[in-house]
């Protein structure tokens, strides 16, 4: 159902050409107060309306036909900005530069006027720079600015590279890293520094066909390490697969495959998803780690995101966690609701999009066609 992959090799361009394939890259950043952002750029993102429905109808498109980019910002435990934008494939590009004999390599991604560049050196030093320039809907202006990550490529604790295209592989790339963000849209702005995390998912088999009932993923930014937990629950009676990774700032990695992740006090959302108030597991040294879900910041029929807190002994950590239920992707009855959140700069949008995109402040005014109020002191 899933392979824990090494950071290299890169996602091959041939994967994006396979019908029903997908690839997404993920960065998050959190400061000490728990404010932060999530940036996801992708081809064939299964969450997009119509992607999974087309596969079920026998008309699967290759990932290359559906590029998208998503930025969500959280302040004070609440969403302050959101943009999920699907772009014309002719205005997007993925250009990998595989590692040479010395081990250095990189990637460049382009979405219209936005460019994301990642590079790693022979000694494992990693650098990612996202120069963001995207139109925002409803008269919100343009989203512009930068997101940066500096750290070390994760080492060890993964399956060897395969010559075949993967059904589904998850590759944590750079963890326990430092990040900076400075983005703005109209009168709204967000600038923070903090801990950053970067990974990717990719596969040629449609995600909803892999027998996955749901998975829990989360990362905890402890002062001297990153702890990542991954609990994958299969459809049917197959046992769950639990993974715990410990990654040091220099990239040194230990993996506990089969560690028991305990999910406590589950509740049911209005969409029918079950989510817990707490999780717990042991780190690779057997020390107990308790995770408390502080704030639900995204709640949908097949996806949830939470801001969380972790405790291990005297150490505390901020973090994020996500619940994904692939079998629930793209139900026809809910597809119009999902479309309300997706911006198409080169195509048609839902008239309700301004309620779900851009800065949270002023959304009703933008929906009604009223100009956003300028911040105090603005000319």
Residues 325-368: tens digit of each pLDDT = 888 888 788 788 888 999 999 999 999 999 999 999 999 999 98
In the chain, the number of structural domains is 1
Q: Which domain holds residue 49?
A: 3-367
Query: Is 150 inside a domain boundary?
Result: yes
pTM score of the predicted model: 0.93
Residue 162 is predicted with a pLDDT of 52
Residue 370 is predicted with a pLDDT of 62
How do beta strands 92-97 and 78-86 pair? unpaired
> Which structure tokens are listed for 193?
């520094």
Query: Is 378 inside a domain boundary?
Result: no
Give the whole-angstrom CA distance, residue 250 versus residue 178: 12
Residue 375 is predicted with a pLDDT of 41
Element (H, E) at 364: helix 363-367
Query: Is 43 inside a domain boundary?
Result: yes
Residue 206 is predicted with a pLDDT of 86
Chain centroid offset of residue 110 CA: 17
Give the whole-angstrom CA distance, residue 241 versus residue 225: 23
Query: Is 379 inside a domain boundary?
Result: no
Query: Is 372 inside a domain boundary?
Result: no
Q: What are residue 347's phi and psi, to 5 degrees?
A: -150, -160
Query: Is 94 inside a domain boundary?
Result: yes
Residue 164 is predicted with a pLDDT of 63
Answer for the pair 155, 253: CB distance below 8 angstroms, yes or no.
Answer: yes
Query: Is 168 inside a domain boundary?
Result: yes
Beta bridge mates, 133:
144
The mean pLDDT values, 10 residues at a time, for the chain of 379 residues are 81 94 97 96 93 90 97 97 97 88 86 96 94 93 97 75 72 96 96 97 89 92 97 83 95 91 81 83 96 92 93 97 88 84 93 94 87 40
Residues ≥6 apart with Cβ < 8 Å to 137: 343, 349, 353, 354, 357, 358, 366
Spatial CA neighbour of 106 closest among 91, 93, 95: 95
Query: Is 109 inside a domain boundary?
Result: yes
Element (H, E) at 55: helix 51-56
């Amino acid at each position: 159902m899933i392979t824990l992959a090494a950071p290299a090799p890169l996602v091959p361009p041939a994967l994006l050409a396979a019908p029903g394939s997908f690839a997404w890259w993920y960065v998050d950043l959190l400061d000490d107060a728990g404010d932060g952002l999530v940036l996801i750029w992708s081809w064939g993102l299964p969450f997009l309306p119509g992607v999974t429905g087309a596969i079920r109808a026998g008309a699967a498109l290759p990932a290359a036909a559906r590029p998208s980019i998503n930025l969500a910002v959280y302040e004070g435990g609440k969403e302050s900005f959101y943009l999920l934008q699907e772009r014309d494939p002719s205005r997007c590009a993925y250009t990998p530069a595989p590692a040479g004999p010395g081990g250095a390599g990189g990637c460049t991604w382009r979405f219209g006027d936005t460019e994301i560049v990642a590079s790693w050196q022979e000694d494992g030093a990693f650098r990612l720079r996202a120069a963001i320039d995207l139109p925002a809907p409803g008269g919100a202006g343009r989203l512009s600015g930068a997101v940066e990550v500096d750290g070390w490529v994760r080492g060890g604790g993964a399956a060897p590279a395969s010559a075949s295209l993967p059904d589904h592989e998850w590759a944590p790339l750079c963890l326990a890293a430092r990040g900076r963000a400075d983005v703005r849209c109209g009168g709204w702005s967000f600038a923070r520094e903090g801990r950053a995390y970067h990974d990717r998912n990719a596969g040629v088999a449609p995600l909803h066909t892999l027998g996955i009932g749901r998975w829990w993923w989360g990362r905890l930014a402890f002062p001297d390490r990153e702890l990542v937990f991954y609990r994958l629950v299969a459809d049917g009676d197959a046992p769950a697969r639990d993974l715990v990774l410990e990654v040091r700032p220099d990239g040194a990695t230990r993996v506990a495959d089969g560690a028991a992740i305990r999910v406590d006090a589950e509740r049911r959302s209005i969409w029918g998803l079950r989510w817990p108030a707490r999780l717990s597991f042991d780190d690779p040294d057997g020390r107990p780690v308790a995770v408390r879900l502080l704030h639900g910041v995204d709640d949908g029929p097949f996806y949830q995101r939470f801001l969380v807190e972790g405790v291990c002994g005297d150490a505390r950590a901020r973090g994020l966690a996500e619940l994904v239920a692939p079998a629930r992707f793209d139900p026809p009855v809910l597809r119009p609701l999902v479309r309300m959140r997706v911006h198409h700069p080169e195509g048609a949008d839902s008239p309700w999009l301004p309620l779900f995109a851009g800065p949270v402040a002023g959304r009703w005014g933008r929906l009604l066609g009223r100009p956003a109020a300028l911040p105090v002191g603005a000319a």
